[in-house]
Amino acid sequence: MFKIITIASFLITFAAIGLHCLIFHPKFDEVFGPKRLRKGLDIFRIPVLIITLLLPGQSSSLWGVVKKLLYLFVMFCVLVLVVTGFWQRLLYDKALSGYLIMIHSTFAPIFIACLAILALGWSKQNGFNRYDCPWLMRFLHKAVKLGVYVEKTENETFLPVRKITFWVLMFLALVVALSIVSSMFRIFGTDMQHFLMDLHRYSALAFVLIAMVHTYVTALAKARQEI
């Protein structure tokens, strides 16, 4: 069941991102150039855009450089954890074992530690304000006479989605970590052990899928110069 759900989830997520890019055609002209060849391949240019965005710039502060390098390392850790965690389960329908579990167990605490540092460094940047959801502010202003009103603009930004996915990722990372750590204690019975392992697998899957969406909307934010 996990194998089917995982494959279907990845296919649906990739299809949704690709469909959004093709239908709504985000304004990448300013980033990729209006005369670029094969605009339909913009979806494949997004990973390059993200990596370029995260590379240290000449004018970046020391903390900014550290955050970008940490983010790149976290992305690498996620890739390693996904490959080692899903490889045997998806291809052979077997539990994690051998060298793969050694690699997985080595990178997991490093990933959590780096992610915790990023959460502290980017928590303020991903804080919510009234401009994140202008449509909600306009509705509240009309419905309950709220004294805060935000004018409608031509470009309702992608920042709210980016912020929401950021905090969802932080929560899922906590669930992923606590579920596997809790399963190591002998205070839980067999049924609870199986539940914790399933919770670890599905929360890890959800983390990867939300991370894909977060990466995509980050690229949109960059294309619209919101970062």
Contact 138, 152 (CB under 8 A): yes
CB atoms near residue 122 (< 10 Å): 16
* 79 in any annotated domain: yes
DSSP states of 104-172 = HHHHHHHHHHHHHHHHHHHTTTT---TTS-HHHHHHHHHHS--S------S---SHHHHHHHHHHHHHH
In a domain, 105, yes or no: yes
Enclosing domain of residue 81: 60-121
Q: What is the pTM of this model?
A: 0.78
Instruction: Determine contact, residues 63/125, Cβ cutoff 8 Å.
Output: no
Distance CA 142, CA 51 (A): 42
Give me the half-sphere count of Cα atoms (radius 13 Å) on the Cβ side of residue 147. 0
Residue numbers of the chain with a pLDDT score lower than 50: 149-150, 152-156, 226-227
Indicate whether 145 belongs to any domain: no
Please state the domain count of the chain. 1
For residue 188, tell me if it sits in a domain.
Answer: no
Q: Is residue 66 part of a domain?
A: yes
The backbone torsions φ and ψ at residue 117, rounded to the nearest 5 degrees and listed phi first, read -65, -40
Residue 98: per-residue pLDDT? 83
- Does 70 map to a domain? yes
23 inside domain:
no
**Digit-coded pLDDT (tens) for 41-83:** 666 666 666 666 666 555 567 777 777 788 888 889 999 999 8
**98 falls within a domain:** yes
